Amino acid sequence: MKNEPLRVLFVTTEAYPFAKTGGLADVSASLPRALLKTGVDIRVIMPLYGSIAKDGHKIKKAAGPIRHKFSGRIFGFDLLSNSDDGILTYFIKNEKYFARRGLYGTSLGDYPDNALRFGFFSKAALAAAETLKFKPHIIHCNDWQTALIPFYLNFVLNNDDFFKGIKTLFTIHNLAYQGVFGKIFTRGLGIPAKFFNADQLEFYNKLNFMKSGISYADSINTVSRKYAEEIMTPEYGCGLEGLLAARGGDLSGIPNGVDYKEWDPRNDKFIKENYSPATLDKKKACKKDLLKCIGLDFPQDRPLIGYVGRFAYQKGVDIIAGVAAHMRELNAAMVILGKGDAEYKRLLKEIARKYPENIRITQVLDEELAHKIEAGSDIFLMPSRYEPCGLNQMYSIRYGTIPVVRATGGLDDVVVDFDDDRYNGNGFKFIPIDSAACLRSVKRAIMYYENSEVWRKLMLQAMKCDFSWEHSASEYVKLYEKMTE
Ligand code: ADP
């Protein structure tokens, strides 16, 4: 093995630019790219959603139709591929499960057959590797959707020569989404009844995909050091803290990095003017452009606070709304971009209606506007209840857009609270989960913003921080190598 490159099959359910609902898509695009640079022979595999062809991505046929026998049942799919960006990405095509616009559901909720959809995807990813005769050293599984793969390898394909010796790494990008489904699905997924008990895949009389990943993968990791510690506690463990602690010896935290090809004001293709620490004044043109784009007539010299992210409980959207209600008295403005839960949409819309001179909300997925917000805002808000890693705080720091964050998970690892004695730090942090604490931090940030000399130093200091993937990719390589020893 020593003389051949490490072969890795990276199994994911979203990857930018093909399909994206959140950070997993960014990671699934940039980590494989960084691993490829280290010499790893990496292939990515994901479902072919209906949206991918409609969005005009060039996909060509790789194999198929493939008919595969799995737990005594035959199932079929086609395999397509794309390698435009240097990464060989395979797509599993199956009309019944994936020819839908949404990845996981619609605005009304999750698709009711998600257990079967992603169980199918996991089996198909394994079948595809065999069809392609690509025997990886490591199958790198991501989140609950791919968590049955270690189970299938250990208990269904254990006598199949092709799969012998393959190791699995299970990466938890978000422990709160575990893939919990009715017991009824076990049969369709090829899971024998004897595994349906609390020590294995059962979770309060339901089937829990995530338990399979945690229990049966050879190694487990999550996407920041702090979150790796947090998930072994009842506060953050979502009911799986005991299981995670029991596997603590195989659990590590490897922070996500930033793809600076996409997220750097020096070369960002979406923003009005590119800038760097040497040309920081050009950031003002980005602010002006952002205000124009969102139709907000607001003084250029007053603070503009940005937020981009899912409208979800995790993200503290209620806390954001609580802070937004103070924008007028602070003579500040807020721009919010996101999609998600109806109750938060309502809450934010109501605030925006009340303070039309200070607040704008855009409720779509808009990659371009996300970049404009990073470049054009002065402050970026992330009051997450928990945050496995978080990308936007790292993007903001590179854009000189100072983050105000709750000290949890990757936010706590990345953001260093500004200390004006030593001029140390790149943002502002608070701990209590409430709007009052967040507002105090926002006020602290605005106090410094009003001293343009201090603020400029803080921006320049932040922009020097480097969260590029190279370091994290080398940690993954070390972990892969350790697993294959
Ligand atoms: P999570 O994966 O929990 O949603 P992350 O911070 O890890 O959060 O990643 C979120 C990614 O999704 C970021 O790249 C962010 O810019 C992007 N994003 C979230 N919502 C939107 C939206 N409405 N429009 C454009 N990009 C979005």
DSSP-assigned letter for residue 279: G
User: Which atom of ligand 1 is nearest the CA belonging to 389?
Assistant: 7
DSSP-assigned letter for residue 271: S
Report residue 211 as tokens: 């338990």
Q: How many residues does the chain have?
A: 485
Report residue 194 as tokens: 């004897």
Q: Which CATH superfamily is domain 277-463 in?
A: Glycogen Phosphorylase B; (3.40.50.2000)
**Res 192: pLDDT:** 95
**Res 108: pLDDT:** 85
Q: Which residues line ligand 1 (CB under 6 A)?
A: 22-24, 26, 308-310, 337-339, 365-367, 370, 389-392
Specify whether the CB–CB gap between 265 and 275 falls below 8 A.
Answer: yes
- 3-state SS of 171-206 is EECCCCCCCEECCCHHHHCCCCHHHCCCCCCEECCE
Atom 12 (ligand 1) nearest CA? 22
CATH (residue range 7-257+469-484): 3.40.50.2000
User: Which atom of ligand 1 is nearest the CA belonging to 310?
Assistant: 20
Residue 242 phi, psi (nearest 5)? -65, -45
Dist. CA 429 → ligand 1 center (Å): 20
Atom 22 (ligand 1) nearest CA? 365
Q: What secondary structure does DSSP assign to 100-150, as a single string?
A: SS-SSEETTEE-TTHHHHHHHHHHHHHHHHHHTT---SEEEEESGGGTHHH
Helix %, strand %, coil % of the chain (to 5): 40, 20, 40
Residue 109 CA to chain centroid, in angstroms? 20
Dist. CA 22 → ligand 1 center (Å): 4
Q: Are strands 167-172 and 180-181 parallel, antiparallel or unpaired?
A: unpaired
**Burial status of residue 101 (CB atoms within 10 A of its CB: 0-12, 13-18, 19 or more):** exposed
User: Which atom of ligand 1 is nearest the CA belonging to 391?
Assistant: 6
Specify whether the CB–CB gap between 414 and 390 falls below 8 A.
Answer: yes
Rounded distance, CA 401 to CA 376, Å? 8
End-to-end C-alpha distance for the chain, whole angstroms: 9
User: Which atom of ligand 1 is nearest the CA belonging to 27?
Assistant: 7
User: Which atom of ligand 1 is nearest the CA belonging to 174?
Assistant: 3
Match 């909720």 to its residue by tokens: 109
Dist. CA 65 → ligand 1 center (Å): 35
Specify whether the CB–CB gap between 315 and 392 falls below 8 A.
Answer: no
Atom 2 (ligand 1) nearest CA? 23
Report residue 232 as tokens: 């072994």
Q: Are strands 73-82 and 60-70 parallel, antiparallel or unpaired?
A: antiparallel
Report residue 9 as tokens: 């099959």
Three-state SS at 480: helix
Three-state SS at 336: strand
Specify whether the CB–CB gap between 98 and 78 falls below 8 A.
Answer: no
User: Which atom of ligand 1 is nearest the CA belonging to 362?
Assistant: 23
**Res 3: pLDDT:** 73
Beta bridge partners of 181: 207
Report residue 161 as tokens: 């020569």
**Angle CA(354)–CA(357)–CA(359) in degrees, nearest 5?**
70
**Res 2: pLDDT:** 54
Cβ-based neighbour number of residue 55 at 10 Å: 11
Three-state SS at 3: coil
Dist. CA 259 → ligand 1 center (Å): 14
> Is cis: bond before 47, omega within 30 of 0?
no
**Res 23: pLDDT:** 87
Dist. CA 184 → ligand 1 center (Å): 33
Given ligand 1 and candidates 172, 365, 381, which is best to mutate, with the most ligand atoms within 8 Å of its CB? Answer: 365
Dist. CA 367 → ligand 1 center (Å): 9
Cβ-based neighbour number of residue 190 at 10 Å: 18
**In a structure prediction context, what are the per-residue pLDDT tens digits for the chain, which is 485 residues long?**
557 899 999 999 999 999 999 889 999 999 999 999 999 999 999 999 999 977 788 899 998 899 988 767 888 999 999 998 899 999 999 999 999 989 999 988 899 999 999 999 999 999 999 999 999 999 999 999 999 999 999 999 999 999 999 999 999 999 999 999 999 999 999 999 999 999 999 999 999 999 999 999 999 999 999 999 999 999 999 999 999 999 999 999 999 999 999 999 999 999 999 999 999 999 999 999 999 999 999 999 999 999 999 999 999 999 999 999 999 999 999 999 999 999 999 999 999 999 999 999 999 999 999 999 999 999 999 999 999 999 999 999 999 999 999 999 999 999 999 988 888 899 999 999 999 999 999 999 999 999 999 999 999 999 999 999 999 999 999 999 999 98
User: Which atom of ligand 1 is nearest the CA belonging to 20?
Assistant: 12
Decide if 7-257+469-484 and 277-463 have a common fold: yes
Every domain of the chain and the residues it spans: 7-257+469-484, 277-463
Given ligand 1 and candidates 24, 223, 364, 391, which is best to mutate, with the most ligand atoms within 8 Å of its CB? Answer: 391
Report residue 205 as tokens: 């009389």
Going from the C-alpha of 261 to that of each of 29, 33, 34, 174, 402, the distances in angstroms are 12, 11, 12, 25, 21
Rounded distance, CA 68 to CA 75, Å? 5
Residue 336 phi, psi (nearest 5)? -125, 130
H/E element, 445: helix 435-449
Query: Is the overall model pTM greater than 0.85, yes or no?
Result: yes
Dist. CA 56 → ligand 1 center (Å): 22
Dist. CA 119 → ligand 1 center (Å): 25
Rounded distance, CA 339 to CA 364, Å? 6
Given ligand 1 and candidates 30, 310, 381, which is best to mutate, with the most ligand atoms within 8 Å of its CB? Answer: 310
Rounded distance, CA 39 to CA 61, Å? 26
Dist. CA 21 → ligand 1 center (Å): 7
